[in-house]
Amino acid sequence: MGKGFYEVPLAVNEPIKDYAPGSPERKAALAAYKEMYNQTIDVPMYINGKDVATGDTATMSPPHDHKHILGTYHRARKQDAQAAIDTALAARGKWAATPWEQRAAIFLRAAELIAGPYRAKINAATMLAQSKTIYQAEIDASCELIDFLRYNVQYMTEIYSEQPESTSGAWNRLEYRPLEGFIYAITPFNFTAIAANLPASAALLGNVVVWKPSDSQIFSAKILMDIFKEAGVPDGVINVVFGDPVMITDTVLASPDFSGVHFTGSTNVFKGLWQKIGTNIHNYKTYPKIVGETGGKDFIVAHSTSNPIQVATAISRGAFEFQGQKCSAASRAYIPKSIWPAVKKRVIEDVNSFKMGSPEDMSNFITAVIHEGSFDKLASYIDAVKDDSDATIVVGGGYDKSEGYFIEPTVIETTNAKYSTMCTELFGPVITIYVYEDYLWEETLHTVDQTSEYALTGAVFSEDRYALEVAMKILENAAGNFYINDKPTGAVVGQQPFGGARASGTNDKAGSKLNLYRWLSPRMVKETFVTPTDYRYPFLGE
């Protein structure tokens, strides 16, 4: 900066297209889907602006059609992980010195590329390899990602303009430097938007990044890299490595220049990372920033005054969209005895009306879970219910992996508020219901608060303000994103900053200024205009 105080375009949420039959967006998405399905691609890593192919490859397949091969990707050797670090550090000086408006322009351009020419492609890739319906792909890979990029640019300018007071004699300036060193971004399979945002948000602020996507998201990660490149992210600023997470992570965390991790994924992986960083702490040049958004055991709790149909709809959408593989997905619900028959009837009707299959058939509401490991885990929990005396299956309970990893949306009812599926994150289309006596509202809220180690999202339904007030208080620490009379999923960038506490993460709120502060190391500059020349203060006079 230097020749103007520039205003960036005001960030607005990207409108969601509806993909109705006959619409141009539906035709474009299906055409892109078919084209990608019928090709076989080879995805190299991307280090210092160059494709790196190691020959150590693994295949990529649609979860809903796992015998079909979409292509291969190349796995890193230790020297590739090291090259990604070295190249990021080499790029740092120039990138950190690049004026903010140039960085902003690159990421605003990426947003427009996704909104326009890449929209069908990034949505189709997310449908194919992460098995999202077109609507789930649109709200993730297009809209949420565009929102992250646009809002982060705006938040960056708001942060830069936060300045201390000055006097006529001294000018105080806060310079928002990027971190010294490099950032390590580790991303999950379930959101293409998160995969892009974790490296991009740090890079926007002038940091350089080593990015390791999930093995199950590489197909769309390749398109993200193409977009970043076309938008003008310079070589070496975001470097992508694939493969063995432990080897890559150990290599990264051994670097004295490691200055922060931007992680989204499961709780145990994050705790392991934190532990390794602690063990290495004496090796680092700077205290690393540790930002992680992790697991959840998200709840719906209904009061006896709530509308049973609204509660049932929140369960059907909140638990089953994207097969329950949203960190915010409802996976335990507490329903009062008086309204349970009506809620149950509607949920059973809803679940029985869901169509399940490939996302290519856009009338399907449910598609496959991400991989065989997830399928087997879910099937084992469903099987256990069949043997347990304190739980029954209300609807669903079937599964089949002959063609794709299909788990029927399943509702379990338990008489044990601490039943395993009330406590453990399963990350699939399974919700467990505990029915409580209507008069035990406060006791039930305490149970909700104390049942799981997580505190990500939660929803309370009630028409009684006093009951809501009690819930707000008792559940104060039970969720980082708390919903009243709404499902606990669907946070929108700019509207509901997202993140949880307890074992759900460091609650740095992706899609808000709070997150961006973590990738900055402010330098305070005080400039005195007339510098004193005598140490004696007036009070020292005779």
Q: List, in sequence order, every residue forming a beta bridge with 260; answer none if it has no partner.
A: 183, 289
Do residues 236 and 48 make contact, with C-beta atoms less than 8 angstroms apart?
Answer: yes
What is the Cα–Cα distance from 432 to 443, expressed in whole angstroms?
18
- The single residue listed with the structure tokens 């390590």 is 184
Annotated active-site residue 423? The verdict is no
**Which residue's entry shows tokens 């806060």?**
174
Among 57, 266, 485, 496, binds ligand NAD (CB under 6 A): 266
- 419 is a site residue for ligand NAD (CB under 6 A): no
Alpha-carbon dihedral sign for residues 470, 476, 477, 478? positive
Residue 450 dihedral angles phi and psi, to the nearest 5° = -105, 5
Say how far residue 413 (Cα) sits from the centre of its chain: 29
Q: Could you write out the three-class secondary structure of 20-66?
A: CCCCHHHHHHHHHHHHHHHCCEEECEEECCEEECCCCEEEECCCCCC
Residue closer to ligand NAD, measured from CB, 304 or 489: 489
528: Cα separation from own chain's centroid: 45
Residue nearest to ligand NAD (CB): 265
- One of 14, 138, 144, 293 is an active-site residue; which one? 293
Residue 518 · residue 291 · CB < 8 Å:
yes
Stretch of 171-179, 187-195, 355-363, 378-386 lying at the interface with ligand NAD (CB under 6 A):
187-195
Interface with ligand NAD (CB under 6 A), residue total: 33
Residue (164 or 272) nearer to ligand NAD, CB: 272
Q: Kind of pairing, strands 481-484 and 57-60?
A: unpaired
Q: Minimal distance in Å, beta carbon 459 to ligand NAD?
A: 16
Q: Which of residues 513-532 bind ligand NAD (CB under 6 A)?
A: none
Q: Which stretch, 58-66, 125-133, 267-275, 306-314, contacts ligand NAD (CB under 6 A)?
A: 267-275
Site membership for ligand NAD, residue 296 (CB under 6 A):
yes
Is 265 a residue that touches ligand NAD (CB under 6 A)? yes
Instruction: Tell me which of 148, 155, 182, 189 binds ligand NAD, using CB under 6 A.
Output: 189
Q: Does 264 bind ligand NAD (CB under 6 A)?
A: yes
Phi/psi region, residue 32 (left: phi>0; alpha: psi -120 to 50; beta: rest), is: alpha
Using CB under 6 A as the binding rule, the residues of this chain from 3 to 62 that contact ligand NAD are: none
Enumerate residues 6+ apart whose C-beta is below 8 A from 495: 13
Closest CB to ligand NAD among 489 and 504? 504
Check residue 318 for interaction with ligand NAD (CB under 6 A). no
Complex with ligand NAD: residue 151 or 191, whichever CB lies closer = 191
| Interacting residue with ligand NAD among 145, 300, 319, 327 (CB under 6 A) | 327
| Of the candidate residues 53, 246, 472, 525, the single one contacting ligand NAD (CB under 6 A) | 246
Among 61, 123, 504, 515, binds ligand NAD (CB under 6 A): 504
Q: How far is the CB of 36 from ligand NAD (least distance, A)?
A: 21
Query: Looking at 14, 144, 321, 327, which residue is catalytic?
Result: 327
Specify burial of residue 513 (Cβ count, 10 A radius: 0-12, 13-18, 19+).
Answer: middle
Active site residue 293: yes
Decide: is 456 part of the binding site for ligand NAD (CB under 6 A).
Answer: yes
Angle between helices 100-115 and 145-160 (to 10 degrees): 160
Binding residues among 470-489 for ligand NAD as defined by CB under 6 A? none
Distance CA 466, CA 89 (A): 56
294 binds ligand NAD (CB under 6 A): yes
Residues with active-site annotation: 293, 327
Residues that bind ligand NAD (CB under 6 A): 186-191, 194, 212-215, 245-246, 249, 264-266, 269, 272-273, 293-296, 327, 425, 427, 456, 498-500, 504-505
